[in-house]
Amino acid sequence: MASQWVDLRDLKFLLNEVLNIGENLLGKGRYKDHDVDMCNMVLDQAAKFAEAEIAPTYPDEVHRKPVEATYDNGKVSTPEAYKRLWNLYCEGGWISTAESYEVGGQSLPVCLAAACNHMFLGCNQSFALYPSLTHGAARLMEDFFQHPLRDVVIEKMYSGQWGGTMCLTEPGAGSDVGALKSTAKKNADGTYSIVGTKCFISSGDHDLTENIIHPVLARIEGDPNGTKGISIFMVPKIRFDEKGKLTEPNDVYCSGIESKMGLHGNATCTLNFGDNGKCIGYLMGQERQGMQIMFHMMNEERQGVGMMGASLATAAYLHALDYAKQRLQGQSVTATAAKGENVPQVPIIQHPDVRRMLLKMKSITDGIRALCLFCYYCMDNEFNAVLEGNDEKKEYWHGMIEILTPLVKSYGSDMGMEVCGLAVQTYGGYGYCREYPVEQMMRDQKINTIYEGTNGIQALDLLGRKLGMKKGVNFMNLIGLTQAAIAEAKANENLKNDAEIVEGALNACAATASAFTQMMKTTPFVPLIAASDFLNCLSDALLGWLHIWMANIAVKKLPKAASEQDKAFYNGKIHGAKFFINRITALAPAKLDTLKKDEQSAMNISEDAFAV
């Protein structure tokens, strides 16, 4: 029976057949000690762990009992099942899968670690956020905390003995980080006294670890307003000595957790720093480098949020697929029985509109999963380029990551939300009830479009920064990277028309990007209003390319498939590609033509006219 939680076969297809890490990454550079068999073994173990240990900690599938983090007088408690799960997660080394041997990691490819995390997130995002944020904060400490305490901090965090967070948002400031009010005052011993409040801090306080390390943005007294005056500090929940022995509380207090639409098992906290004047922080990097440093973690988290979108979409789709195969309702549209004769009911997967929803879910999920893993694959190539001392290759792959990050975060979560909605729709009225988990997957999914920079901010980042980086070279490199797969598909009669659709959509995206660059100088509201739609059109086109890439492989492998399962898998790849390209990618050029029109009603309407 196929899994309802993880798509292990597709992950192996993407890593081994599409990205071909065995030839392109393994056995060389950073990954010289690893081969395909090792990586497949890691994937197998991750799948077993995800299904056997993590999935059961999602709310009870029979009675749908809520699993929530709770708050009582400054103390945050996680769901009881999370404690054992945290220990198993840490014992398995899952926090540091892709980290170097020097810091206790396994030096496995980043894209492999991401594939494992994809399965963990799909089984319980509320839990998986705790180690994900710990990993991101640990990476920040490893790269930017140059202090005698550094080695202790990263050893404790990568092992899971200590947790980690990301403390940016403040009450009233929201996405405007430059408006923060947290302050830092330098002490005689070189530490800083931190005072301020941070809100919406995921995993901000909990009982899974003995200590929590907070990277905190604050403004040193006398530094300028705005983002240029912000510094970043390592602030522990509990102080510790140079050997990692805990000493005394550090005046970090959780004043409450949010009552949220979803992710109930993860504590989203308000944290008060220095209410009693005793909160000590340690400067990371140099003064006024806070935003520059924090964006390293922010970008990692944005890529992770895109993967969260793909992960929940996977679980929702697989649950909907299983339900559609079992749920009997209605008769086949091809039934020829005479009127009045007893015609048997059929599984709803036989109904055309249900099949449309299922194939749309499959094609979107396959595409955003490929987009996410390709971004992580770019990181692996950048790492190896650094080891080789090849600055040209490093800049090439880094440029890919810069362009892809807002697409991964925004499109991955938006389309993940659409998949969850279709999954609920597939169940019909039952999907709206807590008897089945897809309603919670939909609620959990929504936050992915909001945090780590709303999707509107991602669109503005793409339009205002990423397209123009290096005078557009990064963007054109990405478009250029698509050409090989398109050319291969155009030479295949079965994929020729599909490849031409993708090529036309990508050309339209490039032309629109050029037009928007000019409009920013003359009619800036036109591209600014269109930013989110443009990001989605570009992503629709790029997913068309990824589907063509996957279909090229499937067309070659299908005749040689050794089993009926493999034949079905490759057949599914071809049909999924055709569905997505012809029903989603094909619409992009017309949408882009509309976006370029001088239509500014969103700006011209008065505020009073929105509702009278």
Tell me which residues are annotated as active site. Answer: 452
**Pick from 30, 142, 137: nearest CA to 394:** 30
Return the SS3 of 239.
strand
How buried is 567 (Cβ within 10 angstroms: 0-12 exposed, 13-18 middle, 19+ buried)? middle
**In this structure, which amino acid lies at residue 405?**
T
- Name the DSSP class of 229: G
Instruction: Find out whether 219 and 180 touch, Cβ atoms under 8 Å.
Output: yes
- For residue 237, count other CB atoms closer than 10 A to its CB: 24
Distance of CA 565 to the CA centre of its chain: 29
Strands 280-283 and 230-236: antiparallel
What values do phi and psi take at 540, rounded to 5? -55, -40
**In this structure, which amino acid lies at residue 139?**
R
Return the SS3 of 215.
strand
Instruction: Find out whether 438 and 422 touch, Cβ atoms under 8 Å.
Output: no
Retrieve residue 55's tokens. 């999935």
Which residues make Cβ contacts (< 8 Å) with residue 412, sequence separation at least 6? 305, 306, 307, 308, 309, 310, 368, 371, 372, 448
User: Residue 200, CB half-sphere, CA atoms under 13 Å: how many?
Assistant: 14
251: left (phi over 0), alpha (psi -120 to 50) or beta: left
**Pick from 380, 401, 537: nearest CA to 469:** 401
Retrieve residue 130's tokens. 């705790």
User: Residue 392, CB half-sphere, CA atoms under 13 Å: how many?
Assistant: 0
What is the 3-state composition of the chain as percent helix, strand, coil, each rounded to the nearest 5? 60, 10, 30
For 24-59, give one letter per residue: b (16+ CB within 10 A) or e.
ebbeeebbeebebeebbebbeebbebbbebbbebbb
Distance in angstroms (rounded) separating the CA atoms of residues 244 and 137: 17
374, containing H or E segment: helix 352-388
Distance in angstroms (rounded) separating the CA atoms of residues 82 and 94: 15
**Pick from 305, 345, 264: nearest CA to 118:** 305
